[in-house]
């Protein structure tokens, strides 16, 4: 990248969990950051530490509105597109809104980025794209059929990005996120992610409910690994690295039973009574993939990716953050 003071990064969904962490990171590096968010799932409190930073600009707008997208990208050198409606269950309950945001909104920000001639468009893709593919580890070029409306929308994003690369010459990089967790992830709401939700329940001596028998496994990915991938995606000068997708993960898998065991271990070091909280098992959830494990060889080879945080290392950091911010 050229001198940081001359670069402006648009982060859509910048008030969300991943977006606000990216915003904080790039501001610390001295970049100018524009945040576009409609606060449907993001939070103003995620922006409080840098809302007065002269290098930070907040645009309250919606990616479903093309004019908001045009306004947001007009000064941007790079786009980190994080805005989306996440959650498989949400997409099953409301596929229309999920499609409007994740497909129509994605197309809007792509068109605005193309017209503004941004240098590179990096977007949040999803491990849900692997669908019913049973092979492990997941390799970028081998996917199955989607298992939810959400998964369909994220795969359509990849198809649109590829077409915009080939047709209009827009440099794109997609990052297939695998079960990202860490500081600022919201523990509340009907579609809260499992880790912050379980942490809050355990801290309140409430029994977490695991869907199924707890043997489903995931490649849980700490937020700092994701930040590293986004930074590599906008700084790489490797011509072979553009216009493709990358698994963004640690490259290991743990069961939900493993996850709860670690959470109880780290939380009970802070409050011994948490060790006695019972775990409840429920029904499997519709649209869930049984097992998820990423190959990160492609990202290592083409981007120089080197994730620092395993599940255990990331959970120690996350538990500490939640302990200090939820109590």
Helix spans in 191-269 (H): 194-203, 223-235, 256-268
| Cα–Cα dist 90/39, whole Å | 17
Q: Indicate the angle between helix axes 256-268 and 311-326, nearest 10 degrees.
A: 50
Strand bridging mode 78-81 / 8-12: parallel
Convert 82-92 to b/e letters by CB count within 10 Å (16 or more is b).
Answer: bbbbbbbebbb
Give yes or no for a contact between 223 and 262, defined as CB atoms under 8 angstroms apart.
no
Nearest CA among 178, 186, 165, 182 for reference residue 220: 178
222 belongs to the catalytic site: no
The CA-based angle 74-76-79, given to 5 degrees, is 120
Find the distance separating the first CA and the last CA of the chain, reported in whole Å: 40
Residue 301 has a CB neighbour count (10 Å cut-off) of: 12
Catalytic choice (150, 155, 177, 309): 150
Give yes or no for a contact between 42 and 15, defined as CB atoms under 8 angstroms apart.
yes
Which residues, in sequence order, are CB contacts of 161 under 8 Å at separation 6+?
Answer: 110, 121, 123, 172, 174, 243
How many angstroms separate the Cα of 176 from the Cα of each of 2, 11, 244, 268, 295? Answer: 27, 17, 11, 33, 11
Catalytic positions, please?
150
């Amino acid at each position: 990248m050229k001198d940081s003071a001359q670069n402006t990064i648009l982060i859509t969904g910048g008030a969300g969990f991943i977006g606000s962490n990216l915003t904080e990171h790039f501001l610390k590096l001295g970049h100018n950051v524009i945040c576009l968010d409609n606060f449907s799932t993001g939070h103003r409190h995620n922006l409080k530490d840098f809302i007065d930073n002269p290098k930070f600009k907040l645009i309250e707008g919606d990616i479903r509105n093309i004019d908001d997208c045009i306004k947001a990208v007009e000064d941007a050198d790079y786009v980190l597109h994080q805005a989306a409606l996440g959650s498989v269950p949400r997409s099953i309950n409301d596929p229309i809104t999920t499609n409007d945001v994740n497909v129509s909104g994605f197309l809007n920000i792509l068109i605005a980025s193309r017209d503004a001639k941004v240098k590179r468009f990096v977007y949040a893709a999803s491990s849900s794209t692997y669908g019913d593919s049973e092979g492990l580890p997941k390799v970028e070029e081998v996917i199955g059929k989607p298992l939810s409306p959400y998964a369909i929308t994220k795969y359509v994003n990849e198809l649109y990005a590829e077409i915009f690369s080939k047709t209009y010459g827009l440099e794109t990089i997609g990052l297939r996120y695998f079960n990202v967790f860490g500081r600022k992830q919201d523990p509340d709401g009907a579609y809260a992610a499992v880790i912050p939700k379980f942490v809050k329940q355990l801290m309140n001596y409430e029994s977490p409910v695991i869907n199924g028998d707890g043997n489903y496994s995931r490649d849980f990915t700490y937020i700092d690994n994701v930040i590293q991938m986004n930074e590599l995606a906008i700084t790489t000068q490797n011509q072979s690295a553009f216009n493709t997708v990358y698994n963004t993960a640690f490259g290991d898998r743990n069961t939900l039973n493993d996850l709860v065991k670690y959470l109880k271990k780290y939380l009970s070091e802070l409050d011994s009574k948490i060790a006695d909280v019972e775990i409840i098992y429920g029904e499997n959830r519709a649209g869930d993939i049984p097992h998820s494990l990423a190959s990160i060889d492609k990202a290592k080879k083409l981007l120089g990716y080197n994730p620092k945080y395993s599940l255990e290392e990331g959970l120690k950091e996350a538990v500490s953050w939640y302990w200090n911010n939820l109590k």
